[in-house]
Amino acid sequence: MVKYEVKMTSIGKDAPTYLSSNSAFILMNEKIRPTLTDMVVEHTVGELVADIAVGDKLKVGKSEFDVTFVGNAVNQNLREEGHCTIVVNGEATMPGQIAVKGLRPPRLRFGNVIQFYTEE
């Protein structure tokens, strides 16, 4: 079941550097906070149809990940602004972060689909 699906519409100029140096990237609905566009991956507005939980899957383009941590503010932030920080192959501890494990970091590309889903 797909819980949340959006498409990348803009990759901030600092987002790839943030991903390589911090193993993380920041998602935000397009045009929500123009002052942050250099840092974030903007995406189409999506509807969170069910809460994201540990054990779910994340697909970014062709890369797939297992969700290992979901901060207690993530689901509300996704509903309101499409906003969260995704930490790849690392530890997440903040309320707005999701930790995921996969083979390698995702490619941040215009048009890539971001999808959270469960295999149940």
Give the model's pLDDT for residue 116: 98
pLDDT digits (tens, 9 = 90+) for 26-44: 999 997 877 778 999 999 9
Give the model's pLDDT for residue 64: 96
Give the model's pLDDT for residue 50: 98
What domains does the chain contain, in order, with CATH numbers? 2-117 (2.40.33.40)
Give the model's pLDDT for residue 82: 95
Give the model's pLDDT for residue 34: 72
Confidence of residue 7 (pLDDT cuts 50, 70, 90): very high
Phi, psi of 75 (to 5 degrees): -65, -40
Sign of CA dihedral 49, 51, 28, 8: negative
Give the model's pLDDT for residue 40: 94
Give the model's pLDDT for residue 36: 78
pLDDT digits (tens, 9 = 90+) for 46-105: 999 999 999 999 999 999 999 999 999 999 999 999 999 999 998 899 999 999 999 989
- Per-residue pLDDT, averaged over 104-118, amounts to 95
Sign of CA dihedral 6, 65, 41, 110: negative
Cα 99-35-38 angle, rounded to 5 deg: 60
